[in-house]
Amino acid sequence: MLAVLGLGNPGRAYARSRHNVGFWCVEQVAREHHIPLGERRRHAVLGQGSIAGLPVVLAKPRTFMNRSGIAARYLAQRFALRPEQLLVVHDDMDLPLGTLRLRPRGSSAGHHGLESTMAELRTQEFLRLRIGVGRPPPGQDPVGFVLAPFAPGEGQAIRETVARAAEAVAWLAEHGLESAMNRYN
């Protein structure tokens, strides 16, 4: 089994923000693999299906970013997940726009959604797919930057990046982490 938790903030105000690329990735995987995201739970919206014969759970937290760990803990408990069965997909300002990085573990690097996930799971030992959203221009507040939509000139790049991120999730499900890292990092 693979559980994919895409991080983001709920609500229309944040739907197009950089912080929500984790949601976009999960939604793309759901569309491509015909997995309806229709199961609404207290802390997450879920969809269950399969990719290449592997059972997959897709999830988007219903909490705000800094409480994303509640959904991660719910998934881990409900599906009796081992750390290597949970993939957290999130935005990363330390990566240039359009860059993907799969990792088997790591620190939060100041990302509040990851901090919450680590605190709730009591481990850093879960898979991550980092989606580069770029750095804010000099003088712009990083929080405002990630909560803002992409610039018009960035639209094509981020759509292509999210499509590649969804491919990476499917490749990971079918071929494993090492192969996915070699192909998408």
Say which of 19, 43, 111, 112 is annotated catalytic: 19
The predicted-structure confidence for 4-26, as pLDDT tens digits, reads as follows: 999 999 999 999 999 999 999 99
Distance CA 77, CA 93 (A): 30
Q: Which domains occur in the chain, in start order?
A: 2-184 (3.40.50.1470)
pLDDT at 115: 97
What integer is the mean pLDDT of 113-132? 97
pLDDT at 76: 97
Catalytic residue check, 19:
yes
Note whether 10 and 63 are within 8 A (CB): yes
Checking if the pLDDT of 108 tops 90, the result is no
Distance CA 35, CA 50 (A): 8
This prediction's pTM = 0.96
78-101 burial code (b ≥16 CB/10 A, e <16) = ebebeeebbbbbbbbbebebbbbb
Note whether 46 and 57 are within 8 A (CB): yes
